[in-house]
Structure 1
Amino acid sequence: MACVSRVDGNAKPKSMSRAKQWTGEVENLYRFQQAGYRDELEYKQVKQVERIDRWPETGFVKKLQRRDNTFYYYNRKRECDDRDVHKVKVYTY
């Protein structure tokens, strides 16, 4: 899995690959992409937020605001099924 380094606020991805197996990182990417964002970096850029609500037990994203200002609420457990893992895009900066 590619390591995502946080460069500057307007970083554009250099490359994209598909997830091959489920990890905690893939789970969170799945949640961001479901809400209409590339990843955490793009979400923070668009929504101008410092902190993202996460479940303390797992570190998974708890709540995201979509671009139309409605919210997605996520469970503390895994939501990305094995059949959806290959749909998750992993960006490298």
Structure 2
Amino acid sequence: MAKIIPITEHFQHFVAELKESFWGDLQGAVQREAKKLFELQSERQRDRYMVSGRYGRSAARKDHRNGYYLRDFVTRFGTLRLRIARSRKRGFLPE
């Protein structure tokens, strides 16, 4: 014989699951967007430091691009693994 559960209990479980799925999805989206923001900011700061654009040749160029290094950054939304832009002579330090 099946147990009959009052509708209010079903509704409470539904609301609890809905809240859990909403906040879980929201946290993941915030982490992705924060990661994009910090990585883009690092690249822009490096480009400003370099003076010349990507693939550009100029006498004013201070240094050369040299890829990225990984750093863990702890936020209230969780730990983010960021790709931080770097320069060859290591003269560039992002803020």
TM bucket (normalised to shorter chain) is under 0.3
Q: What TM-score, normalized by structure 2, do the two folds share?
A: 0.24
Q: Which protein shows a greater Rg?
A: 2
Q: Larger strand proportion, structure 1 or 2? A: 2
Q: What TM-score, normalized by structure 1, do the two folds share?
A: 0.24
